[in-house]
Amino acid sequence: MTYKYINIAVVSVLLVVYSSVAAAWIHVAREDETLEMLAVRYYGSAEMTMVIRAANGFVHPDDGRLTEGEWIEIPETSLYRVRENDTWESIADRFLASAKRGFFLAKMNDFEKGSVLSEGTLIRIPYHVRHIFAPKETIRSVVRIYYEKGVTSRWLQAYNLTRKKRFERGDVLIVPLWKIRFTDEEQARIEEERSERYSDADAKIQEEIPQEIARVKAVYEAGHYVKTISIAQRLIGQGNLTVPQQIGIQNYLAFTYVALNEKALAIEAFGKAIELQPGMELSSITTSPKILDVFREAKDAIKPEPKAPSQAASPSPNGKESAPKPPDAD
């Protein structure tokens, strides 16, 4: 099966996508960078711009311009190492929100139906995009957007565990993507940087954290709010989280607190996420009005710190200006 990302300029106008929390590489935006430039750099194709938009849950200007210093998640498919007593159904239940997706997970990894998993086998967990239907859009047109061949309307319908054939504006359809790949050049660079960034122990933790964050999303969407809070707080407590991972977990905590009518706790969780990424926004199309109202309150509650007065540069012995000295540490 192959993917097809077509006519992105048009598609971006017609639909809004929102991704699951999935494995992602973190890119810090540089001056004048755009989403399209990142898609070309990491995937070798500008048509992957839409996937990066989805991964970050925000709507950029039409040209995809980024703010310098902005943290951008570049999605990867997750790799999971099979453990003793794992089955396709148990893995699907853990990471894809339903054991019924075990059959699909096996096929995505080129295994036959009923195949027994061996401990230690590496399997790929698909990246979920939540497609929001535009007016007059059909499941067949959604298939044409994301896939070239091998996937039918009936297949995608079955993956979504529904018999529904007609979809209205605003309806949601999960689109699994399991062949997202970085270019060989970027993959080599990332592996080198990861080896420098983490010790062996930290690298093992980082391998597991995206899987646990995926669980947070799955249990939240299933309405298991107490369990969502339990897993999220455990992850925060253990540390070793990247900034975007912290942001993702705090957002799901906030969503959960809103669902439980714990407004003060939701504002606190959103506030922690906003402090980590001050320019963060939630889509007004994919996010409920109730959550958006609480999010805006959290943003309003955070006041920017006053800037310290700048120090004049002092002349150096050679007659050239030198940089101001930093203030003494407390």
Q: CB neighbours of 156 closer than 8 A, spacing ≥ 6?
A: 139, 142, 143, 173, 175
| Weakest mean pLDDT among 102-116, 172-186, 189-203 | 189-203
**Res 123: pLDDT:** 93
* Per-residue CA distances from 321 to 309, 324, 327, 328 (Å): 18, 9, 18, 21
Average pLDDT of the residues in 14-23: 40
| Weakest mean pLDDT among 65-69, 179-183, 255-259, 274-278 | 65-69
**Res 272: pLDDT:** 94
**Res 202: pLDDT:** 56
**Res 84: pLDDT:** 93
Q: Is the pLDDT of residue 106 over 90?
A: yes
Which residue would you say has higher pLDDT here, 177 or 23?
Answer: 177
Q: Is the pLDDT of residue 323 over 50?
A: no
Contact 280, 273 (CB under 8 A): yes
Q: Is the pLDDT of residue 71 over 90?
A: no
Q: Is the pLDDT of residue 136 over 80?
A: yes
**Res 170: pLDDT:** 79
Q: Is the pLDDT of residue 21 over 70?
A: no
**Res 8: pLDDT:** 34
Average pLDDT of the residues in 224-231: 93
41-45: which pairs have CB atoms within 8 A and are 24 or more residues apart? 41/183, 41/186, 42/74, 42/182, 42/183, 42/186, 43/180, 43/181, 43/182, 43/183, 44/183, 45/5
Fold of 78-124: Membrane-bound Lytic Murein Transglycosylase D; Chain A (3.10.350)
**Res 198: pLDDT:** 54
Which residue would you say has higher pLDDT here, 276 or 76?
Answer: 276
Q: Which CATH architecture has domain 199-301?
A: Alpha Horseshoe (1.25)
**Binning pLDDT at 50, 70 and 90, where does residue 228 land?**
very high
**Res 36: pLDDT:** 92
Q: Is the pLDDT of residue 14 over 60?
A: no
**Res 194: pLDDT:** 65
- Strand 314-315 to strand 321-322: parallel, antiparallel, or no bridges (unpaired)? antiparallel
Which residue would you say has higher pLDDT here, 293 or 315?
Answer: 293
pTM higher than 0.85 for the full model? no
| Domain boundaries along the sequence of the chain | 2-77+126-177, 78-124, 199-301
Average pLDDT of the residues in 180-195: 83
Q: Encoding tokens for residue 61?
A: 């200007």
Closest CA to 215 of 199, 235, 197: 235
Name the average pLDDT for the chain.
78
**Res 287: pLDDT:** 77
